[in-house]
Amino acid sequence: MSPQVLDLSGTGDPQDAVHRAVQALVEGKLVALPTETVYVVAASALVPEAVARLVAMRGGLEEGPPKLALRSTDEVYDYVPQLPPVGRRLVRRCWPGPMTLQLPDAHPESAVQRLPARVREALLPERELRLRVPGHELMLKVLRLVAGPLVVCGAHGPGEPEAVTTAQVLRQVGQQVDLVLDDGPCKFGQPSSLVRVDEKGLRVLRPGVFSEANLKRLASIMIVLVCTGNTCRSPMAEVLLKQHLAGRLGCRVSELEDRGVVVLSAGTAASTGMRAAPEAIAAMRERGLDLSQHESQPLSDRLVRFADLILTMTRGHRQAILEQWPEAEGRVHLISGGRGDVADPIGGPLELYRRCAEQLETYLQDWVSQLPLEDAA
């Protein structure tokens, strides 16, 4: 029997489709849903019979166990209470989005333990759990309304390519699902990137949408130095910090990103593409550091979300950041550690820039000794 197909590309009512999908899932039916990567078949994790149907439908597929689709980034900590630092960074930077995390199921307080036994067996054949927060709004709406997570797998048969259109879903698994939500071709048209994370770091099992190089950069420790215009204080702090971090890691500055550390600078009121002040360039040149290629950038949502540590020159900068991004409070600190502000040398003589650099260097040495570089990707 063919499944019911709800076409959302024309006159379809997305909200009605969401409610019908939720109702079907609650009733133990299998529903094919769009994501930003490929179409998936979903079953409620609270209905063992539906999950058993899903596992049987997958047959001899070699793509590993099905995944748990979660409704929000915060929910991952219910399932992995002790998520390693690399995993926390990937979750903050990649979700909702096209990345699947594979993690050891090793915590006795994991919410997995509250799922039915048959569902746990399906999810954890080798004591490894796969989690994802998809970046497709329709899928997220379903997840927000359904009780519990969804167990999902690709909507394709053994030996078949990933289904990225409803026509492919119907051809490959149409006789095995009860409802299909048709939202047109998937945005990326390829699987999510699969990354295994444990206390030792990460291993890319399948590049997918994110390349291995992108994933390793996304898993890096990121430090952002912030001033006002991003032409004096924060650029000097950026190159000084890179120099000290390279010394601690025993590598060249150019090798920091390969060692899992990214250092950037930005300004709360910066324009894009401005060069560093000539005096700042000269003060750094005296220290053997090159600031001549610096280009200013404004502090952005993306930088704040990605940053593990944001160091501001003044209390005013910190306050401005927290007013706009209050969720970043635990990651935004005064570079002096509470010993006062770093005054802006703009418009002053070279000697003023030298004194500013000395002040920055003193403060940065303290931060370098504290940073958990062993957690770098």
Which positions are catalytic? Answer: 227, 233, 344
Sheet holding 40-44, edge to edge: 4-7, 179-182, 31-33, 40-44, 150-154, 67-69, 128-132, 99-104, 193-198, 201-206
| CA Rg value for the chain | 25
What tokens does 270 get? 């910066």
Burial class (CB in 10 A: 0-12, 13-18, 19+), 343: middle
Please give the order of strands across the beta sheet that includes 261-267: 261-267, 221-227, 309-312, 332-334
Q: Tell me the three state secondary structure of residue 219.
A: coil
Quote the longest CA-to-CA distance of the chain: 82
- Cβ contact 223:309 at 8 Å: yes
Q: Residues for the chain: how many in total?
A: 377
Contacts of residue 41, defined as CB under 8 A and 6 or more positions apart, other chains included, come to 30, 31, 32, 33, 54, 57, 152, 153, 154, 155, 173, 176, 177
> For residues 237 and 335, is the Cβ–Cβ distance under 8 A?
yes
The label of the residue with tokens 């990121």 reads: 222
CA 85 – CA 90 distance, rounded (Å): 9
